[in-house]
Structures are given as structure tokens and as C-alpha cells.
Amino acid sequence: MVQLLDGERIDQLYKDDVKIIQNSKVFSYSVDSVLLANFPNLPKNKGLIVDMCAGNGAVGLFASKFTKAQIVQIELQELLADMAKRSIELNGLEEQMTMHNLDLKDAKKVLKHDSVDVLLVNPPYFKTMKSSKKNPNPYLAIARHEITANLDDVVKISAFLLKTNGKLAMVHRPDRLMDILETFKKYKIAPKRIRFVYPKLKKEANTVLIEGIKNGSQDGLKILAPLYVHEEDGSYSSEVKEIYYGK
């Protein structure tokens, strides 16, 4: 029996019967995590998948339903990493998934150069400047702002870990797209698929999903069909509803 600590609860992604330990005082998973886990084509049986900036483990847990490949998670914050470890146990995934409580820049301590097939990352979105207003909750501040790691750090370690033709899949904010593309180019990650996510029809995109290939050709970038999260009445769109609850 997995022990819950004060303030913790168990939530469930109904379609896949994935249970995850959450805590209201730290960063809980959002639709971004669910969309990222569903974005790339994952190896079905073999290979190595890394979930970096893993938080409480949501992306890796959701991805586990699409693959039997090994999944390694990297998370800096000890409290979140501990929640993820217990969620792995809660779902009986100890033989497939491993969580390491590490700074992503130290991921090479547990993962080899050119060893990863797919790397999933939901990084901090916001640049940290003196004028930036940060969340007073340190757990949320680190998850949302580039305090302990920035975009360059994320892509640099990703390029180090990925095999040639390995895939980096990232969820981020559209206003950082130029930064992302420039950083991908710097570390020889060729962007291949981009999908913009909109809160609803006639609204500006507030999320972007991007997938790149290490040492891939710079040709062949695809801009995929838009994804709308909500209908006009506020209910989930049919696509998001299917992701959460199945057909």
C-alpha cells in the first residue's frame, strides 16, 4: 500500500487508468502534460525514453500506456521526485520506470551519451529577469521560471543524451518559439513537427508542441492542424475528451 503524506491525493486519467499522487502545495499536472505524452510516436516495445523536468511524474506515467520501453525520469525537486516514485509504485510500473532526483544538468550521471530514443520535456516556460514576478511558492516558481535551468540547458543536455535520429518532444509557450528554434539549431536538433494549441476557437494559441530530431535534415518541417482544448461552452473539445476519456 502506497503511503500518502499530508495534503496529498490520488487523481486519475480515466482513459488509461493512470493514477497519480498530487499535492495542492506543489505543481500539479495540467493539460500540457497530457498533450505532451500524446504528441510523439513512441517506440512500442524497446528503447529508452526520458521524461526530463518530470515534476510529479505525469508525462512519463501517461506515456507508459503507449510503450513497453524503459522510461527514466529526471526531477530536481525532492518532494516532487518522491511523489513520482510513489506514483510509479502505485501503478505497478517499477520494472518499466525509474525516477532520479537530479538536476537535469547532472542527467549524464545516470544516462549515457547517445543512448536515448525519445526525450520528453515540459520545461520552465518563463525567463527569469530582475523585473520578473515569481510565484511566492518556491515549488511553483522553480517549475514555471528558468531559475535552476533555462532553455539552453534543456536542449544542450537533450542533444548530449539523444541518439542520432532520436527525438526531442517539448511543450512550451508560443512566444518562446523563436528561442526554441534557435536553440534547436545551435545543438543540431532539426525541428520536424509543430502543433499550436488554442484554449478555444478564435483565441490566440497559448501552447506549442514541438518535436525535433537530433542531427536530422533541416528540411521537412510540418505545421500540424491546430488543437482546440475547449468548445465555446467551456467543455473539452472532442479531441481532448478522447485523450482524457477515450472514445
68-104 burial: b if 16+ Cβ within 10 Å, else e: ebbbbbbbbbeebbbbbbbbbebbebeebbbbbbbeb
Per-residue pLDDT of the chain (247 residues; tens, 9 = 90+): 799 988 999 998 877 789 999 998 887 788 999 999 999 999 999 999 999 999 999 999 999 999 999 999 999 999 999 999 999 999 999 999 999 999 999 999 999 999 999 999 999 875 665 555 545 555 444 445 445 679 999 999 999 999 999 999 999 999 999 999 999 999 999 999 999 999 999 999 999 999 999 999 989 999 999 999 999 999 999 999 999 888 7
Domain spanning 8-235, CATH class: alpha beta
- Contacts for 157 with CB less than 8 Å, ≥ 6 apart: 52, 104, 105, 107, 108
Q: What is the pLDDT of residue 139?
A: 44
Cell numbers describing residue 224: 500540424
Radius of gyration of the CA atoms of the chain, in A: 17
Of 11, 10, 13, 12, the closest CA to residue 244 belongs to 13
Taking the C-alpha atoms of residue 145 and residue 222, their distance in angstroms, rounded to an integer, is: 29
pTM of the prediction? 0.90
Q: How many CA atoms lie within 13 A of 40 on its CB side?
A: 31
Q: Is 75:84 a contact under the CB 8 Å cutoff? A: yes
Residue 160: predicted pLDDT: 98
* pLDDT at site 26: 81
Give the model's pLDDT for residue 142: 44
pLDDT of residue 224: 98
